Structure 1
Amino acid sequence: MPTYEPVRFAMVSPARWGRLLLDSVRESDKLELTGVFSRNQANAQAVADEYGGRTFSSYEALLDDDSIEAVMLPTPHFLHHPQTMAALQAGKHVFVEKPMANTLDEAREMQQLAQEKGLVLAVGLQGRRGGGILKAKAMIDNGELGQVVMAVGTHGAPLAMNYTEADWETSAEKIPGGPLDNLGVHYADVLEFLLGPVKRVSGFYTNKITPFDVIDAGTANFEFESGAVGVYTVQQVSAYVSQLSLYGTKGALHLKRFGQELEWQDLVDTQAAKREGPTLRNIEFDGPNPFTTGLQEELEDLADCIRLGGQPKVGAAEGIASLRLIRAIMESNDTGKAVMLS
């Protein structure tokens, strides 16, 4: 049980993902929904009727309300920077979804203002909170994989196949990285969480399928400071996939469905593996599901930091690091050169 009064928060633009966030803390005794704002007032009222709180006629009116201590921003990416800056200036703590901003300069401005104001700024990168990811991290740190030499990841979903010209996701100005911003930023965070900082990255992307000026698919090669190498691919025009394989000198670990399933692959004779296939076994683990209890944990982490002090597990520094990596992939494509990050 918490030893403090619930943090009173407001939800801005509660669409599909915002409702998932609200579902995750519906029964939380650490957070209390106090306000809702959406440009669609009918949607705001429907959310308030279902989850509680009252509606506001504007974002400015919401920020002027002293009863609200924190705002949650599962909003379009291009709004993250101005909405966060306005909230911080108004003295509100902020939870902002990934990526925390469209540019590194914007992200650093957000970080600096939060520090100056003494406010908590948390970023929605819940992957590293998932039980499977945490189990993989423990196995790496305990030496069960030996030395990790390679990571191979892929992430995709047919998001862009349903876009229309009216959708903000079709504008490269509003979402510069396309699937890198929607999906790839999660694996950027998870890869560095598991394997440490990336030293060098090269990448390229393409836009051949949709008529919009956004990326359809991309790929990147990483060199980690540890000496490991990695390959990552992402797309938003084909079937759903989310898998990460980590290859170490003692065996390999395969994470499926964003770490909701783990498989261990033993080292076996090469010829036997060719004949009989790899030797795999499921690995049991406990911990949050990244799409349910993981969301609850990241929001309650925000509440703990507000009431008890401290910094969130995924704050501005982690948000900047993941954004830096996906923007380096784009820079490499645009310049035709590898990008050094350290």
Structure 2
Amino acid sequence: MNTSKQRPVRVAIIGLGWWGQKMVSILKSCGTELEIVCAVEPNPAAGDFCANNGLTLAASYDAALARADVDAVILATPHSLHPEQIDRGAAARKHIFCEKPLALTKADAERAVRLCREAGLVLGMGHERRFEPPIVDILQKASGGHLGRILQIEANFSHDKFMTLNKSNWRLDPQEAPVAGMTATGIHLTDLSVKLLGAAYDVRVSCETLASDFRQGDTFSAHVRFKGGGTAYVSATLVTPFVSRFAVFGTKGWIDVRDKAHVEAPAGWIITRASVGSLIEISEVGPAEPVRENLVAFARAVRDGRPYEISGEDLVNNIALLEAIIRSAASGEVVAVG
């Protein structure tokens, strides 16, 4: 499908829950890069939201896919729906931006990547952490060798936003969102880990219910070993005040990034770092909007043919690790990845 370089990429947003509504507000700030053509949401209350935001509410996903003025779809839907929705989107030759996780199994992730690649479609992914300025700096320094051999990653991404959710919400369904905060927040940390260290080798997970009645647990940690060497310790809870930390340790230096606030309303970052022979330095980075930067990168890949930051290989490696984390959480044993 050819998309004119003279106009915005026209999108249908599928799903208007908490994060779908956040995406609408971000899309409105994307200027000439993206334009919302319509939305799809089965909840009758979506009519008021669409009216208040000047959105056309399409009758169904199929109706949105049938529109000639839709270049791409943005999936802000429950996790288990992603594989089938990607299948249908690719068949309709629409570019796809999918909120995380891409899938719950490696096989489904491989299929999604393959279908989009074979159809010449861009597959974007809601891993906005890749677009946070201090994380961009870490990835650039790592790829440039400035951190030396990456040895270890330590990361935590926790919040208590789900404590007030209705118990019927899909985000509290262990079939939709298994292993405590893994699919809500931990998936971002494993994405960065496989970007830095490659495919995982095995994982051991602890998942407990300690301070809630969440059926999927509220506190988890995962110890991951990677095929090329190195380890990652990833943890998350669904019952503590917000905290987000991502730290990378290499032979030439280390960097620790801490968010001041949830990405829903970014407030900047605190960076602590050291290099061989230097003192520890502490600095701050001001607010940015990584969700918007991710969407703009997707639009430019669609419209201008620019490479998209997150590769199909990274997507598959991350979901292979997720699948192993789900199995290890159930058994408490070390589980091979893939």
Q: Deviations over 1:45-104 (max 9, x none)?
A: 533542x44221222222222221211111222222222222222222211100012222
| Structure 1 residues 334 and 39, CA gap change in structure 2 (3 angstroms) | closer
Tell me whether 1:260 sits opposite 2:269 in the alignment: yes
Q: Secondary structure at the residue paired with 2:176?
A: coil
- What residue number does 1:62 align with? 64
- What residue number does 2:79 align with? 77
Aligned partner of 2:269: which letter? Answer: Q
Distance in 2, Cα, partners of 1:253 & 1:91: 41
**Which residues of 2 match residues 17-32 of structure 1 at below 5 A?**
17-27=19-29, 28-32=31-35
Distance in 2, Cα, partners of 1:319 & 1:48: 35
Distance in 1, Cα, partners of 2:306 & 2:273: 36
Deviation of 1:283 after TM superposition, in Å, equals 4.1
Distance in 2, Cα, partners of 1:177 & 1:317: 24
Q: Please point out which of 304, 308, 312 is paired with 1:312.
A: 308
Q: How many residues align?
A: 327
Q: Please point out which of 284, 293, 296 is paired with 1:297.
A: 293
Distance in 1, Cα, partners of 2:172 & 2:133: 34
Distance in 2, Cα, partners of 1:20 & 1:231: 30
Q: Secondary structure at the residue paired with 1:319?
A: helix
| Structure 1 residues 244 and 307, CA gap change in structure 2 (3 angstroms) | closer
Q: Give identity over the alignment, percent.
A: 25
Q: Secondary structure at the residue paired with 2:224?
A: strand
- What residue number does 2:42 align with? 39
Tell me whether 1:325 sits opposite 2:321 in the alignment: yes
Q: Please point out which of 330, 335, 338 is paired with 1:339.
A: 335
- What residue number does 1:195 align with? 197
Tell me whether 1:246 sits opposite 2:265 in the alignment: no
Cα RMSD for the two superposed structures: 2.8
Deviation of 1:128 after TM superposition, in Å, equals 1.3
Deviation of 1:142 after TM superposition, in Å, equals 4.1
- What residue number does 2:281 align with? 281
Deviation of 1:143 after TM superposition, in Å, equals 4.1
| Structure 1 residues 303 and 280, CA gap change in structure 2 (3 angstroms) | same
Does the CA contact (< 8 Å) of 1:250 and 1:266 recur in 2? yes
Does the CA contact (< 8 Å) of 1:158 and 1:239 recur in 2? yes
Unaligned segments of structure 1, at least 5 residues: 269-277
Distance in 2, Cα, partners of 1:209 & 1:31: 42
Q: Secondary structure at the residue paired with 1:55?
A: coil
Does the CA contact (< 8 Å) of 1:72 and 1:96 recur in 2? yes
Does the CA contact (< 8 Å) of 2:208 and 2:218 recur in 1? yes
Does the CA contact (< 8 Å) of 1:120 and 1:311 recur in 2? no
- What residue number does 1:126 align with? 128
Distance in 1, Cα, partners of 2:183 & 2:269: 22
Pair member with larger Rg:
1
- What residue number does 1:100 align with? 102
Distance in 2, Cα, partners of 1:282 & 1:247: 16
Distance in 2, Cα, partners of 1:140 & 1:100: 25
Q: Deviations over 1:182-222 (max 9, x none)?
A: 11100001122233333332222123433342122111112
Distance in 1, Cα, partners of 2:279 & 2:311: 39
Q: Secondary structure at the residue paired with 1:54?
A: coil
Q: Secondary structure at the residue paired with 1:175?
A: coil
Deviation of 1:240 after TM superposition, in Å, equals 1.6
Distance in 2, Cα, partners of 1:141 & 1:212: 39
Does the CA contact (< 8 Å) of 1:169 and 1:178 recur in 2? no
| Structure 1 residues 90 and 213, CA gap change in structure 2 (3 angstroms) | same
Does the CA contact (< 8 Å) of 1:252 and 1:264 recur in 2? yes
**Which residues of 2 match residues 179-190 of structure 1 at below 5 A?**
179-190=181-192
Deviation of 1:133 after TM superposition, in Å, equals 0.7
Does the CA contact (< 8 Å) of 1:34 and 1:54 recur in 2? yes
Unaligned segments of structure 2, at least 5 residues: none
Q: Quick check: 173-182 or 141-150, which moved more?
A: 141-150
Deviation of 1:225 after TM superposition, in Å, equals 3.9
Does the CA contact (< 8 Å) of 2:195 and 2:314 recur in 1? no
Does the CA contact (< 8 Å) of 1:96 and 1:122 recur in 2? yes
Does the CA contact (< 8 Å) of 2:27 and 2:36 recur in 1? no
